[in-house]
Amino acid sequence: MKIMFAGTIGAAALLAAAPAIAATPFDLEGVAAGSYASLVVDDGPVQLTITSEGGGVVLVGDSNVALIGKGAASVRDGRFSAKRFTFNQSIGSITFNYGDAGGDDDNPVNVAAFDDLGVLLGTVVGSYDRDESLGGSITSTFSGARYYILSSGSGDANPNSLFWDVASYSLAGGGVPEPATWALMILGFGAVGGAMRRRSGRAAAVAA
C-alpha cells in the first residue's frame, strides 16, 4: 500500500507539472533582452543553441516586440538575417512560434530541417502577412533533425525580422517520455508493487 501511495503522489505531482513544462520548453523569458554572439538555453538534457546564420548576433526582444512572449531574431551586417536553432539531440517534431511588432511583410515563413551531417530533410513554408498583428506558429515533422534554419520574407524591405521561440517539441524515436507518460509509468509501478505486497500477504496466511 505504501508503494502504491507513493507512486500515486509522484504521479500527481508530475501531472500537475506537465502543462508548465510543455508550455515553455526553452525559457527565453528568463533571458535578458539584448544581443548575444550565440544563445544557449536548456530543457533538461536537451540543449538549444541559437546563432545568426552566416555570422552576426542574436537578438532577444521584449515580449511586446515579439507578440509571442520573448523571442530570438538575428542581425548580420546591420540587417535582420536568418537564424539557426541547433539541438544536441535529434528532434522528431517541433513547433515554432513567431511574431514581431507588425509593419513588415515577412511572407513567406520558412523552416528548413537538417540532420547532423547537414543534409536537408525538408522545408515547411508558412505565412506572415503585413496586416497580421499577432504571432503565428509552424510545425516541422522531419524526424532526425539536429538543426533548423529559420527565415522569412523574400526581397522585401526588411526580411527575416520575425522573432522566434520553441512552442513544443519531441525527440526522434521517443528518446525521452513526456511528463504525463512518466506519471502513468509511476502509477503502473505503484499498482504492481501494491499487488505484489497483497499477494505476498495472502501467501504467508495460507502457509501459516
More confident residue, 126 or 198: 126
Statement: residue 69 has pLDDT above 80:
yes
| 161 pLDDT higher than 70 | yes
Write down the pLDDT at residue 118.
98
CA distance 4 to 27: 34
Length of the chain: 208
> How many angstroms from the chain centroid is the CA of residue 6?
30
Cα distances (angstroms) measured from residue 131 to each of 18, 95, 156, 158: 35, 23, 15, 15
Query: What cell does 45 get?
Result: 538534457
- Give domain limits for the chain: 24-176
- Residue bearing cell 508503494: 3
Q: Using an 8 Å Cβ cutoff, are 98 and 135 in contact? A: yes
pLDDT at 159: 87
Integer Rg of the chain from CA = 22
CATH code of domain 24-176? 2.60.120
Give the model's confidence band at 13: pLDDT under 50 very low, under 70 low, under 90 confident, else very high. very low
